[in-house]
Structure 1
Amino acid sequence: MLLLVGLGNPGKRYAETRHNVGFMIIDAVARSFFFPEFCSKHDALVSIGNIGTHRVMLMKPLLYMNRSGTSVLSCTSMHKIAPEHITVFHDDVELQPGTIRVKLGGGSGGHNGLRSIDSAIGKAYWRVRFGVGRAELCNLSDYVLSDFENIAQVTDLVNSVAANLQMLLDGNAAGFVSKVTSV
C-alpha cells in the first residue's frame, strides 16, 4: 500500500491558506479517483482506494502541522508502510507560486510538518513541494496562514496534480512535473 499525506492545519479557518495546499491536493485526489468518504483514524482523516494498479491510503493529519509525524507514524506502524512508499504533499515558500518539485528524502527546509515527519519516520520518503512563494514584507507565519490571492489558479494546479498523479505513482516523477506545470 502507498500512503499519500497532505499537510495542513485542521479547521475551516485554514481551509484556503497556503499552508493547507497539501489538504487541498488530497481532497482533489479523493474526488478524481472516487475514493470513499474519509473516516477518522490515526489522529487523521483517511480514505483507502485505488489509483490505477496502486492500493492507496490518503491521509490528512488532524493534529496541527508541527505534530503531523504522530499521525504518519501511527499509520505506517499499523499498516507496515515503508518510508519509500510514502509521498507527502506540502507548501514550499522557497519555490515560486505554481512551481512543483518532487524529491526523495532531504531536509525539512524549515517546514514544521516535514520536521515532525522526519523525527517520526526518518527522511527517506517522497515529497511533492508546491510553490507558494514568499512575501518579503510580512511575517512568514502570517503569510503561510493567509489565504491564496488567486484561489482559482491554485485550484487548477491542484486539480492538475490529482489528474496526473498516476504518472508519479508509476515512477515517472519528471513526466508528472512536466504535465502538472504545463497547465
Structure 2
Amino acid sequence: MPLKSKRPRIEPLSPPYDEEAAAALGLLGPSPIQLFRVWARRPELARSIAGWGSYYFSRRSALTLRRRELVIDRTTALCGADYEWAVHVAGFAEKAGLDAAQLASLATGTPADDCWDAADRAVLEAVDELHTTFDLSDEAWARLVAVADEDAALELVLVCGWYHAVSFAVRALRLPLEPGTRPIAAK
C-alpha cells in the first residue's frame, strides 16, 4: 500500500474569511471543521452541501438519530475514513446511545455481533450490503422496511451513498484528525 502524505492536499481556509466564504461557512455550522473549510474555498459548493445537510440533520429526516449514526459510522469505517468517523463518533455517538462495544463492532465487527438488536442489525446489514454490492437484495430491503419504513429506507440509501462520497473526499484530501478525536482503530 502506498504511503499517504500527512499533509492535506488542499489547505482548509483559515480566518479571516472573505464575506462569501464566511456566509457559506455560517450555513455549515458554528465551528467549521476542516472539511467544511475546504468546501468553503468554493462557496457555491459549500452552500449546496449545506442544503443537503440541513435536511438530513433536521427533524424532517425519516431516520432517527441512532439509525443515521449507525449508517454514517459503519459507512465511514468500511471506507477507512478516519477523519469522518472521528468527527461523528466524537459529536454524536453518545447522543445516539452507542456504547463502546457497539463502536468497536461498527469499526471492525459485523452486524451479527451480540451487541445489536434486530432493528440495528437490519440497518447494518443494509449498509454492509450496499457497500459490497452497490445494491440491496429484496430480502435486505424487506428487513430494513420492516424495522423502519420506506421513507427511512430511502434516506438510508442516500445517506450511505453520501458518506461514501464524503469518505472518498476526506481520504483523498488527506485531512488530519480534528483535535480531540480518535481514528477508527483507536480503542
Q: Shared topology, TM-score over 0.5?
A: no
Q: Which has the higher contact order (CA 8 A, sep 6+)?
A: 2
TM-score normalized by structure 2? 0.29
Q: TM-score, normalised by structure 1?
A: 0.30
* Structure (1/2) with the larger strand percentage: 1
* Structure number, greater radius of gyration: 2
